Amino acid sequence: MVLRASSPLIIILLWFAGLGAAAQFGKISVLFEQLGVHYAGQSAVAMGLIVSIVGVVGLVFGTTAGLVIARIGPRLAIVTALVMGAAMSLFQALWLPYPLMILTRVVEGVSHLAIVVVGPTMIAGLASERYRGLAMTLWSSFFGVTYAALALLAPWVIVRFGESGVFVGHAGFMAVVGVGLALILPPDPKADGVARKGGLWAQHVEIYASPRLSAPAMGFFCYTFLYVAVLTLLPPEIPVAQRALAAAGMPLMSIAVSLTLGVWLLGRMRAVNLVQWGYAVSAPAFVLLAIGWGDGWLMTLAGFWLSSALGLVQGASFASIPELNASGDDRARAAGAIAQLGNLGTTTGTPVLAAVLAAAGPWGMAGVAVAAAVLGIGLHAMQAQRRQARST
């Protein structure tokens, strides 16, 4: 049975699915200390793998997911992914032996990847042109909103229901969203029987050779390289008096700017151009950070500035998917590429910038960060030139 539902309701439920996908990372973060006690004797690398293995799946199979989902249909893919995610969280509530925990996290990686590919693809198709920028920016906020919600709710859940309550609560949330989407999403269209030429490798080459399919992902790589590293590395370096303000305020500032100023600007300029402006505005903030290193208030100001600027990049990167790609098939492939390169940036940004900070100090880190911002601008400029050359 499929119920008739308005596009805004479906978009909200898809965003909820994104919240559940982000919580596949967040629930481990809030329970990391307890997991360390439970898996005492495991190395730091082994413990880190519990967190990172979900992202590694996306790094390896991101583009493949976009290709597969385009074939099997988005409704089947996202409902199945939510059911898989709910089941894995229920298993994890049993505090499994380490090898089984890793196995459930690999399955969650598949679930997570399907959600983050289907979500923006379906939202782009459902939203009207007038509100598409708002809808895509809302989607882009799912990680920040989830981590803020978990910071508030997880301690209460742990006190009332124990650590397993976090896993059970996540399972219930995923299951409810999955049932809701199963009831209101229209059936997937029948496959047209047209297969793409070449194998998966050839199709990867096709995606990254296309200035329309690959541009959102290439710009997004620089964002994830910078943003996750900043949120991880900056707060511990800020003096204690301002540390809590910076740690809590930076992600909230990013979300707020993205959903307000970012949406307003998307109604007045192309998403690709807004990505470039976001990077341009972030560069002076990294310089201010180096100048004010050791001064809590200057570092906090720089942190708010750069997280706000990167918030513009965040929303506009997802808005650029439908801006550059008209068909659902192409949007799914572009979203798969975003998942792949986004995970590459997340995986590499923190260790690279941490190593530069340790070796060359704050000015070295600022230099690499500004170079990454310039790279983001340049990649989009290059892809725009390629699109223009192909259209003439």
What CATH number is associated with residue 272? 1.20.1250.20
Q: How many CA atoms lie within 13 A of 217 on its CB side?
A: 30
Shared domain for 182 and 330, answered yes or no, is no
Calpha distance 282→289 (Å, rounded): 11
Percent of the chain topping pLDDT 70: 95
Write out pLDDT tens, residues 112-127.
Answer: 889 988 888 888 888 8
Shared domain for 165 and 208, answered yes or no, is no
| Residues 264, 280 contacting (CB under 8 angstroms) | no
Class of residue 391 by CB neighbours under 10 A (exposed 0-12, middle 13-18, buried 19+): exposed
Last residue of a domain, one of 141, 156, 187: 187
pLDDT value of residue 187: 83
Helix, strand, coil percentages, rounded to 5, for the chain: 85, 0, 15
Shared domain for 275 and 310, answered yes or no, is yes
Confidence band for 151, pLDDT divided at 50, 70 and 90: confident
Last residue of a domain, one of 187, 220, 238: 187
Count of domains in the chain? 2
DSSP-assigned letter for residue 187: P
Shared domain for 109 and 43, answered yes or no, is yes
SS3 212: coil
Secondary structure tally for the chain: helices H, strands E: 15, 0
What residues have CB less than 8 Å from 107, skipping those under 6 apart?
84, 88
| Residues 135, 127 contacting (CB under 8 angstroms) | yes
Cβ neighbours around 151 below 10 Å, total? 15
Q: Is residue 192 part of a domain?
A: no
pLDDT value of residue 14: 95
Chain center to CA of 239:
29
Structure tokens at 167: 């896993």
Q: Is residue 30 part of a domain?
A: yes
Chain center to CA of 260:
19
Calpha distance 86→81 (Å, rounded): 9
Percent of the chain topping pLDDT 90: 36
Q: Which whole-number Å values give the CA distances from 258 to 231, 328, 355, in the listed order? A: 16, 25, 30
Domain that holds residue 239: 204-391
DSSP-assigned letter for residue 238: S
pTM above 0.85, yes or no: no
